Amino acid sequence: MNKASGPSGGTGISPVQLAVLRGRLEQIADEMDATLFRSAFNPIIAEAHDASHGLYDAETGETLVQGKEGLPVFVGVMAFAVRYVIDLTRDDPPKDGDVYIFNDPYEGGTHLSDFKLVRPLFRNGKVFCYLASVGHWHDVAGNVPGNYNPAATESFQEGVHIPPVKLFRAGVRQDDILSILRTNSRLPLSVYGDLNAQVSALDLGHGRLNALLDEYGDDTISAVFAELRARAHLQMQAHISALPDGDVAATDYLDNDGIKDEALPIAVDVHVDGERMVLDFSRSAAQCAGPVNISRSTAIAACYVALKHLFPDVPANAGVLDPVEIIIPDQSLLSATAPKPVGGYTETILR
């Protein structure tokens, strides 16, 4: 049977096979979502679906496939979390069965309540891709129960800060790490339940993806990932090229940061030139005293979500941002650095 090459120029994947395997891969992420939503102890995850899962590139951490039922901002931000783990482990590469856990909001995005678990999937002794899970835990210390502290002026007042550490080493759970996590919560049973639910979601995804790779072969699935990214890139270029060339400016405001009664502008200058788009946030406010700051990775993820709302037909992967340049000055409200508080990040991303 002749196989038609896609827009990437010759992956050897037919349109029918691409559609089938795209569905199978997205189903894996969706099943991971469903596993966590059914198993989590706290209603923020179980009912509000403040969580997400996906598959990520072994070298760059870029999004390959994402679940559809989780919180939209995680669709983009988890790629930064996975890349952070990759960068930190270059001198001490992960082993089969390792699972990393952390909640760094400056590198991994969002805020301290969102705990990320990252697990490599090995094939023939090499990392084929990463699976990742993120969920909003009920309480992770800080000055106030639940961690939403409107009076916070530094992230130490918002919760415990856990850098990437191994929750599992070669498949063996590190109970000392679990003990630290449970001790630093007013609701240790909730932490224990949510953590185990995320581990279960990763286990399911790991098994499902291994089975798919055994069925179709590693090379075929790698070709699907490459084709889906190429299609996302080309579809975004086509959508951008359909827009009129030129410049558009917009500004919205936060009334204040909860500490100082001063309005905070969030301003973007959009430049369209052919197939390229520039989103320039240079006119936005500087990082502030109160907890409405966001990290650069969170800001980029919010742009990703906005573009996906404008162009929902584009596959959800790293190709979405290929033709888009995002400019955010250092130490901006949209690129806060530690220990600036970020607990109220949702107030800012919704602008």
37-74: per-residue pLDDT in tens? 999 999 999 999 999 999 999 999 999 999 889 988 89
Query: Do 155 and 298 belong together in one domain?
Result: no
Q: Is 338 exposed, middle or buried (0-12, 13-18, 19+ CB in 10 A)?
A: middle
CA–CA distance, 77 with 254 (Å, rounded to integer): 22
Same domain, yes or no: 95 and 239: no
| Lowest-confidence segment of 65-79, 153-167, 181-195, 281-295 by average pLDDT | 65-79
Question: Can you say whether the dihedral through the CA atoms of 330, 331, 334, 336 is positive or negative?
Answer: positive
Do residues 120 and 221 share a domain?
yes
Q: Does pLDDT of 217 surpass 60?
A: yes
Quick one: 298 and 246 in the same domain? yes
**Secondary-structure breakdown of the chain: helix, strand, coil percentages, each rounded to the nearest 5:** 40, 20, 40
Angle at which helices 175-183 and 188-216 cross, to 10°: 140
State residue 12's pLDDT score: 76
Same domain? 40 vs 140:
yes
pLDDT of residue 5 exceeding 50: no
The pLDDT score that the predictor gives to residue 8 is 46
Q: Report the side by side order of strands in the sheet with 276-280.
A: 246-254, 264-273, 276-280, 324-327
Q: Are residues 254 and 341 in the same domain?
A: yes
Find the range with the poorest average confidence among 95-104, 292-301, 309-318: 309-318
- 322 burial level (CB within 10 Å; 0-12, 13-18, 19+): middle
Looking at the structure, tell me whether residues 290 and 177 fall in a common domain. Answer: no
pLDDT, residue 10, reads 52
Rounded to an integer, the average pLDDT of 171-194 is 97
Instruction: Examine the pLDDT at 3 and tell me if it is beyond 90.
Output: no
The residue out of 230, 257, 275 marking a domain boundary is 230
Per-residue pLDDT band for 208 (boundaries 50, 70, 90) equals very high
* Cα angle, residue 230 at apex, residues 62 and 318 outer, rounded to 5°: 20
| Any domain includes 205 | yes
Same domain, 292 and 262: yes
Any domain includes 5: no
pLDDT surpasses 80 at 121: yes
250 and 209 in a common domain = no
Q: Which amino acid is at 333?
A: L
> Is residue 7 domain-resident?
no
Q: Angle, to 10 degrees, between the axis of helix 74-88 and the axis of helix 296-310?
A: 140
Q: Which of 183, 212, 230 is the last residue of a domain?
A: 230
Shared domain for 151 and 41, answered yes or no, is: yes
The pLDDT value given to residue 2:
32
Q: Please, are residues 308 and 320 in contact by the beta-carbon 8 Å criterion?
A: yes
Structural domain includes residue 3: no
Residue 203 belongs to some domain of the structure: yes
Task: Tell me if 44 is assigned to some domain.
Answer: yes
Domain coverage including residue 337: 232-349
Number of independent structural domains in the chain = 2
For 281-294, the pLDDT digits (tens) are: 999 999 999 999 99
Question: Across residues 320-345, what is the average pLDDT?
Answer: 97
Q: Are residues 114 and 225 in the same domain?
A: yes
In this prediction, residues 245-258 reach a mean pLDDT of: 98
Which band of pLDDT confidence, cut at 50, 70 and 90, is reported for residue 76?
Answer: confident
Is 270 in the same domain as 200? Answer: no
Q: Find the mean pLDDT for residues 247-264.
A: 97
Per-residue pLDDT band at 252 (split at 50, 70, 90): very high
Rounded to an integer, what distance in angstroms lies between the CA atom of residue 34 and that of residue 326? 33
Residue 8 in any domain: the answer is no
Query: Where does a domain end: 201, 230, 259?
Result: 230
The overall average pLDDT reported for the chain is 95
Q: How far apart are CA 218 and CA 301, in angstroms?
A: 29
The answer to whether residue 1 scores a pLDDT higher than 70 is no
pLDDT tier, 297 (very low <50, low <70, confident <90, very high otherwise): very high
Domain membership of residue 1 (yes or no) is no
pTM of the model: 0.94
